[in-house]
A and B are shown apart, each in its own frame.
Chain A
Amino acid sequence: MSNLQPIKIDSLLLDLFQELRKAGMALTLEQYELLRKAITLGYGLGGWQDIKRVCRLLWVKPCPNYDINIFDRTFESYIQQHHEKIPVETEAPSTEENITSSSSVKPPPNLPQIPPRKWKSQSFQTTNEVKVPVALKTSSPLTKFEDARNNFHLNPTDYPIKLQDVETTWRLLKQPVRVAWDYELDVEATLEKIERDGIFTDIVMGPVKSRKTELLLLIDDNSAMIPFFPALQPFIQAIAEARITPARIYRFTSYPSEYLYDWYHPALAQALTDILPKLHRNRTICLILSDAGAATNTYSQERIEGISKFLAALSPCIRQLIWLNPLPPQRWEQNSAITVDAILNGKMLTYEAASLRTVTREIPQENMINTWQMYPHQGNPTEKT
């Protein structure tokens, strides 16, 4: 029995590994190798609970791809299906389960009650050969169930921008910028100066590199935007989970007039005159998520004027302005979106991951907006960047 054990455990573990991957854990081959190594070193041989402990240590991490709930659920149901398969020598509870009739096997509380299956008592006697039929029997009803649901199930992974993209973009946007508030010794510049002058006269001080960046997220909540809200979730989630800090979310309807409204408490108004002075020219990045009238295909002079007024007030206060439109550019024609795009110097982007990459390559504060050209009678005709 004991010389059979490693082989059996190996195939079981591979099976388990596949099962967990199927359930949504992003396990890699390397992590499987790690488990194999742990087993060869003698860990996890004390029965199911011991294996579970080792697997949990190796595979569960505090992030959604290695979630403990998925792990626990999948593992428990796996043990339920296969608990006779492993030669358990020491563990009392599982042998007890074997002796008592199969109906008394108690499922974990978070699983629906499954009626006892006949094959359990069969496989109890012959431990080796039943493996393949077992896997077939259990998986087929499950997939059928899923198929039926797929017809009306919206899969959140289909959205164009994922949490991962948001995080990566934020990291790139956070690149260090030299800010002239604080000075530090610039060794490289000093060395260069010595080389140039041939003698060391004085050190060179340079502004401290800082990577303080803050996000101001503005979401348009007019009724045409509401269907897009689930797709905007990665941004909101990233802020809620402190993956982007510091950050603030506000909402506005069609265009921000004098107030912006708190995202979570729409009744809470904050005056623009309060918000704008707190932004920072070298740090704040403003991200606006709005269709600019493209969803309803309306052309509204009021909206365009409102937006251009707001942007004219906002742009001197921030480092970078990003506008993502959830509708494709073809839909911007013939409505206010095309005009807003022109105000933005043609920098309005579609809501997709590629746009985020474009944004990270952009040089901030370069021709951010174009109001005075669009409306010379309205904007300030003198130089303004």
Chain B
Amino acid sequence: MNNNQELDYQYTGEYQPGNNTKDTDGRTYYPYLPSDDLKSAVNLAIALERPLLLEGEPGCGKTRLASAVAYEFSQKYLQQNQWWDYYIWNIKSTTRARDGLYRYDAVARLRDAQLMGTDPQRLQDFLGIVEVGDLKKRLQDKKNYREFGALGKALQEHQYRPILLIDEIDKADSDFANDLLLELEELRFEIPETLESYPTPQRKPIIFITSNREKPLPEPFLRRCLYFFVQYPNEKQLKQIIDKRFGTLQDKEELVKQAMNRFYEIRSGLTNIPGSRAPGTSEFIEFMTALLNKNDVEKALNDLHNLSDKLPLLGTLLKTKKDQELYRKKQ
């Protein structure tokens, strides 16, 4: 406990998971190569205790950053086989700000109360003695009907500063970000149903927020965040990412090089064309997986050469018919 205070929470990007690293929740961790700017952004956000808002084109690694930080911290500060507290809150169009804090199941409580009011003998016949006992116990405390969301969990006291990822915040309703202002600013919340209140924890969560810029975020919300635009990796970084992800590929060096050339050719052909979307890193990794799964390097090279005819392979990079036709026409 006493060494908790000494943690400096520095993200260096030096700890990389091996193949197929999974935590106790079954989440897979992948290697992540942050740029220097990104590293300093992460460290600054941690030091200033502000959320870090990440934007960038799809597939450039916004979401993966949080898990990379969680992985590094578990390696650096925790004992083996322990995992850092890492919460993910995936936003959908129907998500309300309160859902992230807690849900209160008033209907279940109503049902339980009604059941208790019926004839006790018949209730016991119907539910069995154990279930009736459970029901009684449950009904005694209102708190049994509330369930915490990712944000609610992260805002409670922890041994270390937990990591929270709020993924794709722009998916939600336009008021969503404004509803979160108090919780993000003061990092505390209340539950009116049970009259509980959770004060600001001593070890504040490290919050990452990602956005795809589908909707503009309100200014008061932006003011409370640090903002970082994740740049698309350049050729050298992409090569490093591939090396990290697929391990050493001595005999396939040529294939990787060719594939990257193809990839950048397609990317540059599609940027600035309205209505088209240039493929990102995640697509390229799929593309590479498809290529490397072929044991025969010659054949893979051949496929790469005639990419415009190999529809399934091309489909990993270009996701619409229009884009594929555009590419074919250019050939």
> Residues of A at under 8 Å CB distance from B?
26, 28, 30-31, 34, 37-38, 41, 43, 53-54, 57-58, 60-63, 65-66, 171, 174, 185, 187, 190-191, 200, 211, 241-243, 245
In the complex, per-residue mask of B160-176: 1 if CB is within 8 Å of any chain A CB, else 0: 00000000000001110
Contact yes or no, B107 A185, CB < 8 A = yes
Q: Which of B50, B55, B214 contacts A34 (CB 8 A)?
A: B50
Chain B residues closer than 8 Å to A191, beta-carbon distance: 110
Residues A57 and B41 in contact in the complex (CB < 8 Å), given A38-B48, A62-B55:
yes
Q: Report the Cα distance A345→B87, complex, angstroms.
A: 55
Inter-chain contact total with CB atoms closer than 8 Å: 69
Chain B residues closer than 8 Å to A61, beta-carbon distance: 53, 219, 222-223, 225, 227
Q: Report the Cα distance A41→B107, complex, angstroms.
A: 49
In the complex, whether B226 has a CB less than 8 A from a CB of chain A is: yes
Q: Report the Cα distance A211→B174, complex, angstroms.
A: 11
Contact yes or no, B223 A28, CB < 8 A = yes
Query: Smallest Cβ distance from B221 to chain A, in angstroms?
Result: 9
Query: Smallest Cβ distance from B261 to chain A, in angstroms?
Result: 30
* B:145-198 near A, CB below 8 Å: 173-175
Q: Report the Cα distance A30→B229, complex, angstroms.
A: 22
Could you name 16 residue pairs across A and B whose Cβ atoms are closer than 8 Å? A26-B219, A34-B48, A41-B48, A43-B43, A43-B44, A54-B40, A57-B44, A57-B228, A61-B223, A61-B225, A61-B227, A62-B217, A63-B216, A63-B217, A185-B107, A243-B215
Contact yes or no, A62 B222, CB < 8 A = yes
> Residues of B at under 8 Å CB distance from A?
37, 40-41, 43-45, 47-48, 50, 53, 55, 106-107, 110, 114, 173-175, 213-217, 219, 222-223, 225-229
Closest to B227 in A: A61
Contact yes or no, A31 B37, CB < 8 A = no
Q: Report the Cα distance A242→B170, complex, angstroms.
A: 12
Q: Report the Cα distance A223→B82, complex, angstroms.
A: 72
Closest to A245 in B: B215
Residues A190 and B110 in contact in the complex (CB < 8 Å), given A61-B227, A62-B216, A242-B215:
yes
Chain B residues closer than 8 Å to A60, beta-carbon distance: 227
Q: Report the Cα distance A168→B331, complex, angstroms.
A: 49
Contact yes or no, A37 B107, CB < 8 A = no
Chain A residues closer than 8 Å to B55, beta-carbon distance: 62
Contact yes or no, B222 A41, CB < 8 A = no
Query: Other CB < 8 Å A-B pairs besides A57-B44, A66-B222, A243-B216, 5 of them?
Result: A61-B223, A62-B213, A62-B227, A190-B110, A200-B114
Contact yes or no, B44 A38, CB < 8 A = yes
Chain B residues closer than 8 Å to A43, beta-carbon distance: 40, 43-44, 47
Residues A171 and B47 in contact in the complex (CB < 8 Å), given A62-B222, A187-B106:
no
Q: Which of B175, B214, B223, B226 contacts A171 (CB 8 A)?
A: B175
Closest to B55 in A: A62
Chain B residues closer than 8 Å to A41, beta-carbon distance: 47-48
The 9 closest A-B pairs by CB, nearest first: A61-B222, A61-B227, A200-B114, A41-B47, A57-B226, A57-B41, A43-B44, A187-B106, A63-B219
Chain A residues closer than 8 Å to B114, beta-carbon distance: 200
Q: Report the Cα distance A303→B174, complex, angstroms.
A: 39
Q: Report the Cα distance A97→B87, complex, angstroms.
A: 48
Chain B residues closer than 8 Å to A185, beta-carbon distance: 107
Chain A residues closer than 8 Å to B107, beta-carbon distance: 185, 187
Q: Report the Cα distance A4→B173, complex, angstroms.
A: 50
Chain B residues closer than 8 Å to A66, beta-carbon distance: 222, 227
Q: Report the Cα distance A26→B220, complex, angstroms.
A: 11
Contact yes or no, A65 B219, CB < 8 A = yes
Contact yes or no, B173 A211, CB < 8 A = yes
Chain B residues closer than 8 Å to A30, beta-carbon distance: 223
Q: Report the Cα distance A53→B222, complex, angstroms.
A: 18
Q: Report the Cα distance A305→B215, complex, angstroms.
A: 41
Q: Report the Cα distance A122→B256, complex, angstroms.
A: 56
Query: Smallest Cβ distance from B172 to chain A, in angstroms?
Result: 12
Contact yes or no, A171 B48, CB < 8 A = no
Contact yes or no, B175 A54, CB < 8 A = no
Chain A residues closer than 8 Å to B53, beta-carbon distance: 61
Contact yes or no, B216 A241, CB < 8 A = yes
Contact yes or no, A37 B106, CB < 8 A = no
Q: Report the Cα distance A121→B131, complex, angstroms.
A: 87
Q: Report the Cα distance A200→B115, complex, angstroms.
A: 10
Q: For B43, B215, B216, which residue has the most chain A Cβ atoms within 10 angstroms?
A: B216
Chain A residues closer than 8 Å to B225, beta-carbon distance: 61
Q: Report the Cα distance A242→B174, complex, angstroms.
A: 11
Closest to A190 in B: B110
Chain A residues closer than 8 Å to B173, beta-carbon distance: 211
Chain A residues closer than 8 Å to B227, beta-carbon distance: 57, 60-62, 66
Chain A residues closer than 8 Å to B45, beta-carbon distance: 57
Contact yes or no, A54 B44, CB < 8 A = yes
Query: Smallest Cβ distance from B98 to chain A, in angstroms?
Result: 15
Q: Report the Cα distance A62→B219, complex, angstroms.
A: 9
Chain B residues closer than 8 Å to A28, beta-carbon distance: 223
Q: Report the Cα distance A43→B40, complex, angstroms.
A: 9
Query: Smallest Cβ distance from B156 to chain A, in angstroms?
Result: 25
Closest to B173 in A: A211
Q: Report the Cα distance A245→B173, complex, angstroms.
A: 11
Contact yes or no, A58 B216, CB < 8 A = no
Contact yes or no, A63 B222, CB < 8 A = yes
Q: Report the Cα distance A227→B229, complex, angstroms.
A: 39
Closest to B50 in A: A34
Query: Smallest Cβ distance from B49 to chain A, in angstroms?
Result: 9
Closest to B45 in A: A57
Q: Report the Cα distance A343→B249, complex, angstroms.
A: 77
Chain B residues closer than 8 Å to A211, beta-carbon distance: 173
Q: Which of A37, A65, A171, A187 contacts B174 (CB 8 A)?
A: A171
Query: Smallest Cβ distance from A196 to chain B, in angstroms?
Result: 15
Q: Report the Cα distance A43→B222, complex, angstroms.
A: 21
Chain A residues closer than 8 Å to B214, beta-carbon distance: 242
Query: Smallest Cβ distance from A217 to chain B, in angstroms?
Result: 18
Query: Smallest Cβ distance from A289 to chain B, in angstroms?
Result: 23
